[in-house]
Amino acid sequence: MSDFKSGQKVRLNDEDNIPYSPTNPLPVVQVESEGGAEIHDYNDSGDIAEDGTSDHDYTVTVGKELFLEKVLFAGSGAMKAELQVETAVASGVFDTIAVGFVQAGAKSDAIDLKRPVRVAAGIIVKVIKTNLDNDDQCLYSTIIGLER
């Protein structure tokens, strides 16, 4: 890296190497403050039989909104984690957001959401954990986000 000296000019270019200008403006995104409560909702399921499932439910706090960022999941063998969000308060109907898998021997994985999913108060976030291994195993999950 070279030394920056007073009076030197810096030029910024876009991804196509075109200089930013009044006709090619630099994109700016306003970022909301990070205020709110960090959510790390952990769940561990006892011995789940082969092909058995266990649900991990988190209900968004009344008067808050959850910005769902990630789900961690783990098991001692192969497993599947399906991330779902309820379509309306107490509807019992869920949309699948993402599915992740752990192969035997890998132990853990994560569903990282490129952009946080906004979930309204009273809505349930569900992780359905399925044992894909040949033996009983404990399955683990953590729902991660920010409530404000």
**How many CA atoms does the CB half-sphere of 49 hold within 13 Å?**
1
**pLDDT digits 0-9 by tens, 80-133:** 999 999 999 999 999 999 999 999 888 999 999 999 999 999 999 999 999 999
Rounded to whole angstroms, the Cα distance separating 93 from 40 reads 24
* pLDDT tens readout for residues 29-74: 665 556 899 999 999 999 999 999 999 999 999 999 999 999 999 9
Q: How many CB atoms lie within 10 A of CB 72?
A: 19
- Give the dihedral sign, CA 88/89/91/97: positive
